[in-house]
Amino acid sequence: MRIVGLITEYNPFHNGHRHHLRESLRLTSADASVAVMSGHFLQRGEPALVDKWLRTEMALAAGVDLVLELPFAFACNSAPHFAMGAVQSLNALGVVDALCFGSETGQIEPLQRIADLLVSRGEDIAIATAQRLRQGMNYPTARAEVLAELDPQLSPELVATPNNILGIEYLRALQTSASPIEAYTLPRLGAGYHSTEVTAEIASATGIRKRLEEKTEVQKLIPDQSYALLAEAMRAGRGLDTEKLFTLLQGKMLQEAESLRGIYQVDDGLERRLTDAALTAENYAGLIAAIKSRHWTMTRIQRILSYVLLQVKAAEMRKFLASGPLYLRLLGATERGQQILAEARAQRTVPMITDPARAKAILRRAYRDQPGVASLAEQMLACDLRATRLYSLLQVTPVTGHRNQDFFQSVRGA
């Protein structure tokens, strides 16, 4: 069985994602698909629109065969860390033959050229980028300028559009991890990543979330079965409430600034800027606007706010990123997905977690000769579980009963 990997957020699953799934299977001649999907907090730092189990159900209903959760440490991080964690997860499954991602260019060669440059001249690029950051430039602009200097033939939009940026990082991660997985790309269809426009029943996830917020119809933009699941969840109050997010953040940030020291990426006096912003901001958007500066992008601020909410320490995050994902967390599988799992059983290089109640025993058994790694894996999982507990407080209708939902939700099946 030939298997294609997809790196996803599905926030929410929409027609563009279905197109990506179908075309990925066609382009790679694959028989089945595996999606590595972010959990409750996403790459741009935002909490997901709906919980990870509902998003898994939407994906399975639309034809994805297997859904694995990308640990928080990688899911809610910069493009290089997000890409590396996702590629390492696909590598660890042991049976994925191809990776197919969407990009604005739709061609693998120019993206691969930049990825090669990042691998061969990585240290030089990092030094030159850091110099520009000290001058007040934001990271995306700084790196794009450095790359353009190293390769004058480089088209600026190649390193300025979000899907190209991620695609380059996937290719770099495949190369640096010596992965046997083949890379393919598809041209992004319809609306751009940040666009709120609708093009022939295709809208970006950003556009769909905006329409939902405005109480505008989205049914034609989402596959029928997936839409039915989403509509029912929204009626039941399972959607995100950003006012609750703002309140929880204020509870963390209105303490003494010193309490924020040691949080991942809260450095260079940022803790004072965070607490000052919390004193005057009236909502989540206002909080971000009050913190934003010339060299702090909105995306980076959103991620930092998530680290503050989850109290993610810099020391532990550095260890997570150095180790890579230390387990695979199964969220859902179709019948064909179960066949993938059976095929992967002898090929996997990290343990599979299907039931968090048994995770500690599974991790300690898998890493019995490496107690330090077992402990780190438990800490990594604890971060994911904490993300779920806090997410349960952010929904329009809070979760009733036990908030450790990871221990009460079953693996989904189509």
What pLDDT is attached to residue 414?
A: 63
pLDDT tens track for 63-74: 999 999 999 999
Domains assigned to the chain: 3-235 (3.40.50.620)
What's the pLDDT score for residue 191?
A: 52
CA distance 211 to 205: 10
Chain segment 345-400, per-residue pLDDT in tens: 999 999 999 999 999 999 999 999 999 999 999 999 999 999 999 999 999 998 88
Closest CA to 32 of 329, 348, 351, 334: 334
Q: What is the pLDDT of residue 293?
A: 83
How deeply is 298 buried, as exposed, middle or buried, from its count of CB atoms within 10 A (0-12, 13-18, 19+)? middle
Determine the pLDDT at residue 368.
97
Residue 155: the pLDDT is 80
Q: Report the pLDDT value the prediction gives residue 370, as an integer from 0 to 100.
A: 97
Residues sharing a CB contact under 8 Å with residue 33, sequence separation 6 or more, in sequence order: 3, 4, 5, 6, 21, 24, 25, 63, 64, 65, 66
Nearest Cα neighbor of 79 from 34, 52, 111 is 111
d(CA 369, CA 372): 9
Positions of the chain with pLDDT lower than 70, given as ranges: 190-200, 414
How confident is the model at residue 265, as a pLDDT? 96
What is the reported pTM? 0.94
Residue 190 has a pLDDT of 62
pLDDT of residue 116: 95
